[in-house]
């Protein structure tokens, strides 16, 4: 049986490195890259093998992903950041339910899928709001130059 101590002992090093880096400018590929790298570090730390996380590590993984989203999400997601931050918070809560035995692994997976669907729906609604034309009353009226 392999010990998880070597991968867990590297976690503080990853956290210190991530905290020492300056935040990239918002809504840029660098911001998205910083978020992706932080999330990948979480996955690398808590996966037992690619695509698999032990049930006892799921809460730690979801907390790590939520911290990464809080740290880099505003820059990477821009106006959509609150949606992703809420989803990350719900993921932490779902992992807590898994740890407490309130969810089976299948129920946890379904809950994560539902959270992602809710995020996608909220993002579509936000995009529609951002791209929606102003009401006619709110649109500027051209100045009348002929008196």
pTM, two decimal places = 0.70
pLDDT at 98 over 50: yes
Q: Which residue has the higher pLDDT, 146 or 64?
A: 64
57 phi/psi in degrees, rounded to 5: -100, -10
What's the confidence (pLDDT) of residue 4?
A: 39
H or E element at residue 36 = helix 29-46
Q: Which residue has the higher pLDDT, 102 or 133?
A: 102
pLDDT tens digits for 14-70?
443 444 445 556 667 888 999 999 999 999 999 998 889 988 899 999 999 999 999
In whole angstroms, give the CA distance from residue 128 to residue 145. 35
Give the start-to-end residue ranges of the domains of the chain.
29-129
What's the confidence (pLDDT) of residue 141?
A: 59
What's the mean per-residue pLDDT of the chain? 81
Residue partners of 91: CB distance under 8 A and separation at least 6: 62, 65, 66, 112, 115
């Amino acid at each position: 049986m392999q010990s998880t101590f070597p991968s867990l002992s590297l976690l503080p090093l990853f956290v210190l490195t991530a905290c020492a880096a300056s935040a990239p400018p918002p809504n840029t590929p660098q911001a998205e890259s910083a978020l992706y790298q932080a999330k990948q570090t979480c996955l690398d730390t808590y996966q037992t093998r690619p695509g698999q996380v032990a049930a006892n590590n799921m809460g730690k993984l979801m907390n790590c992903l939520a911290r990464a989203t809080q740290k880099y999400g505003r820059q990477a997601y821009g106006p959509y950041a609150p949606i992703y931050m809420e989803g990350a918070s719900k993921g932490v809560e779902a992992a807590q339910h898994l740890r407490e035995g309130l969810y089976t692994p299948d129920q946890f997976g379904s809950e994560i899928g539902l959270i992602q669907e809710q995020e996608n729906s909220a993002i579509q609604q936000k995009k529609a709001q951002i791209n929606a034309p102003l009401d006619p009353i709110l649109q500027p009226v051209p100045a009348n130059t002929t008196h």
